[in-house]
Structures are given as C-alpha cells and as structure tokens.
Amino acid sequence: MHGDPTNAPARGWRETVEPGLYRVHRLACPRSTDRKSGGRCTCPYSLKVPGSAPGSRRAVFHPGPVGEARAERRRLLAAGRPEPPVEANPASDIETVRDLTRAYFQAHQGVLAGSTLRGHDSAYRRSIDGPLGSVDLRDLTRGRVVAWVASTAQTHSRHGVWKAVTALRTFCKFGESVGLLSENPAARLRLPRAHGDEDTRRGARKALNLEELGRLVAATPSARVECMVRISAECGLRRGELVGLRWADIDLQACRMVVARSVWQEPGLHGAPPVRHVKPPKAGHAKTVAMSPALAERLGDWYAEAVIDAGASAGGYVFPGPDGGPMDAYTPGHALKRACVRAGLVDESGRPLVSWHGLRHTAASIMLANGIPLPDVAAQLRHADPAVTARVYSHSLGEDRQHAAASVFGDLRSARTVPETVREGEERGQI
C-alpha cells in the first residue's frame, strides 16, 4: 500500500515528526486525545512528496516504522514528479446504471467512510442491479424509476426500499455531477404508503411489554447475559454503548452509570479480523443514566463473578471479549436470540420478536406506558430534544392514556336548546 493516498485513515491528530513527515493518528487512537508525541501505536505516517503538477505536493501513507517511512520519502523525493494520470472521458465507457455505479465507487473509495460504501453496495446488489443494472442511462427516466420503486415495495420492507432509493439517488447525483445525466431521476421520490400492519411504526413492532420482558430476563442463562439484556431494556443503551461500557462508568451504590463511549466494529477485508473503533456515544459526549436497585444488585453479582472470582480487570470492560478488549459486535445479538428462543418470544418463522435495538424501544415503551413523564424518558434515553422521544414513541401512549386525556372534559355541560330554556323559565315564573 506504499504510495497509495486512498488508504488514508480516518484522521484524528496529525503529529509532526519532521518537516514533510507526519504521523496521522486515527480517531480511536489515545494519542488523538492526549496529544502526547512519540507514543507507541500502529497509526501510519504521512509523507509529503512532489505531485504530478509543478508546484504541487501529494500525501503518501506509509505504515512505518519511522525509519522506513523516512527512507521511502527520500526515495520518492529522488524519483521526482510522477507522470500525470491520464484522465479518461467518463462518457466514453459509462453507458449503463451498472457502469455508473462502478464509477461512483471508484471515485469515492478513499473519500467516504467504509460503512457508507458498504451500505450503498449492499443496497445496489439486493435491489438495484437486477432490475436496473443493465438499463442504459438514456433510458433511466423518472417514470422507469417510479415503476421500479413500486415493484421493489412488493418484495422488500419499507426500510429496504428506503435504503435502495437512497443509494440510487446518490449514484444518479454523481452521474449528474459528471455530465452523464441531465437531471437526477431519483430526486425527491416518495415511497409508497404502507398498508395494514406495515403502517405500524418499527418501534411499536419491535418492543416487548413488561410481562414479555420478564420472561426474557428469566430465560437468560447467566448473570452476564442477564445484565446485558437488562441494561439495554431498562437503561436504553445502544449495542455499541453496551459493548463500550467499563466498570469505572458504573456506580452501584448510587444506581447510576455514565455512557461515555461506543464501540463500532468494521469488518475486516479479505478474511482479516474485524477492526474495532472506540468513539464517543451518539450524543457526542458522556451522559448519565439511572438504573434500578435490582439491576445494580445483579451487576454486583456479575462483578463478583467476573472480577473478584475470575480475575478480570476492575477498570476494564464490563462485558469483555476473550482478549480482555471489547467483545465482538455480534455477540449480543447471538445471546439475545438464544434467550428469545428459550422464552418463546419468536414469530412463526422462528425469528426473535425483538432485536437488540428493540430493547431500547422496550425501555421507552414501558416507561411511557407506566406514566413516566416524557422529559424524564427523554433524559433516560439521552435524547437532546424530548420532541424526538414524542415522535418516535407516540404509539406507547396507548388507548388508556388517550381516554385519560379525554376524561378531563367530562364535567362540561352541554348547551340547552331554546324550548328547554323557555320551559325551565316558565316553571320558575321568570317568563
């Protein structure tokens, strides 16, 4: 990968080693936080060398060590300016939607995050390539795209259709920017209205009630899995936040925990092990949530089992992997699936009734259904705006809460008709 600028890491702090030689620390690297020079890490070096145009420079990334990075920079400086790349005419070899998609990925390989590119690639392969891949760009009209959306909605979930439309809109926007399309035929598309059960919010479909949550907790095989389930179902932690939870973040006596980080896992390429990145939580900064005394007591049992008896680090991860670092991102999902099967919380096809993120929906739904004020629920879920909580979980109010809201008007008396007023006046002798 020497000399390939597209392999640039997601950059955090750039440490100056010497003029023209820098160390580009990743966002997850501790050096990006403490800014200490000379630290030991695996972050690559950035070499500033001449570019192809006179007066220009280019950045070449080298994995190190620093001695080899210096030698590589000296070699590139001695080699002089590289030959300018031959720019191909996009219109000469891009004719179909498949060609356009391939050109999009080539142009954005080193620009966009890997997760973004993988999401677009997955949506293309599942929903776009078959019906539209071989379509000539000249025939990609608005009507054809609308017909494709209608057809896709018959075989895909609403969320799947939304992902496919987003990907196609992105590809067409790229084609418009390079002059291959006169306009974006996928711009401002509206998804078909959902019908029947599909009209229910996703959160409403994937949340358990209190009785079902009790069955799920009772079916967990160990204190570790029970604490994982209860932290998400009672405190509303997301999966990455659960993986990144450390013992130092938990105050068992005060029944509180600090959500300070999230672990995001990126799949490895060509059979390589996955790469885990530690980043701030979705809110952007640490926030404190409360937990029940029963959960605090169970976490104390897990601490005694994992730290005191098994010798795990008292400052390490609450649910560590085999190497003591963050556990694999897929471990919570596998544990939840097995617990749902034991509890009988599966549908006709044997799939769990709730996903791991659905446990977060469960926390919000149960709190709202039991009369907890909306601002308090928003604070527990760490929503910056309670309006977000109201919009997402409005289904949890239920008919009982609606009847209670309507009952405040029960004392209003209806207006009397004119004959009733006259008759009442005659009886009182006022008319």
Residue 34: predicted pLDDT: 80
Going from the C-alpha of 329 to that of each of 230, 241, 262, 266, the distances in angstroms are 18, 11, 11, 9
For residue 270, count CB atoms less than 10 angstroms from its CB and return exposed for 0-12, middle for 13-18, buried for 19 or more. Answer: exposed
The b/e string for 283-317 (b: 16+ C-beta within 10 A; e otherwise) is eeeebebebeeebbebbeebbeebbeeeebeeebb
The DSSP-derived string for 85-141 is: PPPP-HHHH--BHHHHHHHHHHHHTTTS-HHHHHHHHHHIIIIIHHHHTT-BGGG--
Q: Is the pLDDT of residue 377 over 50?
A: yes
Residue 400: predicted pLDDT: 57
User: Which percentage of the chain shows pLDDT scores above 90?
Assistant: 39
- DSSP letter for 260, please: -
What's the rounded mean pLDDT across residues 197-211?
A: 60
Give 319-376 pLDDT, tens digit per residue.
999 888 999 888 999 999 999 999 999 988 888 999 998 999 999 989 988 888 989 9
Average pLDDT taken over every residue of the chain: 82
Largest CA distance in the chain: 117
Give 257-285 pLDDT, tens digit per residue.
999 999 888 776 556 677 788 888 887 78
Q: Is the pLDDT of residue 4 over 50?
A: no
Higher local confidence (pLDDT), 194 or 85: 194
The residue with tokens 């620390």 is 25
What's the rounded mean pLDDT across residues 204-229?
A: 89
Which pTM value belongs to this model?
Answer: 0.57
Structural class in CATH, domain 90-199: mainly alpha
All CATH 1.10.443.10 domain ranges of the chain, comma separated, are 205-386
The arrangement of strands across the sheet holding 250-251 comes to: 250-251, 256-259, 287-290
What dotted CATH number matches 205-386? 1.10.443.10
Residue 198: predicted pLDDT: 45
Higher local confidence (pLDDT), 175 or 201: 175
Give 139-169 pLDDT, tens digit per residue.
999 999 999 999 998 888 888 898 999 999 9
All CATH 1.10.150.130 domain ranges of the chain, comma separated, are 90-199
**For residue 273, how many C-alpha atoms fall within 13 Å in the half-sphere facing its CB?**
4
